[in-house]
């Protein structure tokens, strides 16, 4: 039986650069992951292609997909639906290929429940850990602003709980290298490779 592919979920707070990192990863020639094109009800932006960037759907079409259980996860984000087609993900993984999702945190949470064997990577804003120190020592913000910024940073940090790995997005190329390293290591986990070796021993 062919080894199953990985379900790689890249997520993280809004504005952290998930889309930029994903685009960089898929512009690299040696990237072997299959990108799962999401469904959305938002209108295409200039240059976006249906079926490549997203499958653009009406609200009615999207809601019918929800009813038919055709989505692995979905979430409403800034007034629009976004969701991952479940059939594509299943088929690709069953064919031994790695699927890559780039989604917001609510959707990632849903997948964590349904598909805990996925590989969950949290893309973190750079210098998050230093944010509080910087704000306090800089002394230019009012207390209120500092408190709001720190509260937002803490909420973002708390989201990490659901993830297996944290990749800081200080530089896009570095973030991509880290993601590739994580995926490579995941493939080399004993649980994933031991069946092959057991078979080898049976033959000898």
35, 55, 56, 77: residue in contact with ligand 5GP (rule CB under 6 A): 77
Number of residues engaging ligand 5GP in binding (CB under 6 A): 15
- Please, are residues 51 and 163 in contact by the beta-carbon 8 Å criterion? no
- 36/28 Cα distance (integer angstroms): 17
Q: Least distance (Å) from ligand 5GP to the CB of residue 71? A: 8
Mark 3-32 with x for binding to ligand 5GP (rule: CB under 6 A) and - for no binding: -----------x---x--------------
Closer residue to ligand 5GP in complex, CB, 1/78: 78
103, 119, 146, 159: residue in contact with ligand 5GP (rule CB under 6 A): 103
**What are the start-end ranges of the E strands in the chain?**
7-11, 34-35, 38-40, 54-56, 71-77, 80-85, 99-102, 119-124, 165-168
Closer residue to ligand 5GP in complex, CB, 38/169: 38
Report how far apart, in Å, the C-alpha atoms of 135 and of each of 16, 139, 149 are: 19, 6, 9
SS3 category, 30? coil
Q: Which residues sit at the interface with ligand 5GP, rule CB under 6 A?
A: 14, 18, 38, 42, 73, 75, 77, 82-84, 102-104, 106-107
């Amino acid at each position: 039986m062919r080894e199953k592919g990985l379900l790689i979920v890249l997520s993280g707070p809004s504005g952290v650069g998930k889309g930029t990192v994903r685009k960089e990863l898929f512009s690299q020639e040696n990237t072997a992951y299959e990108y799962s094109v999401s469904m959305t009800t938002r209108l295409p932006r200039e240059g976006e292609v249906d079926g490549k960037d997203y499958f653009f759907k009406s609200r009615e079409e999207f809601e019918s997909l929800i009813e038919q259980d055709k989505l692995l996860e979905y979430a409403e984000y800034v007034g629009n639906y976004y969701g991952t087609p479940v059939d594509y993900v299943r088929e690709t993984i069953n064919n031994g290929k790695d699927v890559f999702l780039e989604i917001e945190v609510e959707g990632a949470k849903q997948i964590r429940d349904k598909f805990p064997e996925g590989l969950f990577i949290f893309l973190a804003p750079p210098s998050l850990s230093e944010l509080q120190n910087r704000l306090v020592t800089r002394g230019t913000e009012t207390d209120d602003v500092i408190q709001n910024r720190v509260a937002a940073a803490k909420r973002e940090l708390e989201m990490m709980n659901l993830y297996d790995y944290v990749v800081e997005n200080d530089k896009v190329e570095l973030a991509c290298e880290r993601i590739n390293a994580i995926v490579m290591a995941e493939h080399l986990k004993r649980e994933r490779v031991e069946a092959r070796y057991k078979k080898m021993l049976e033959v000898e």
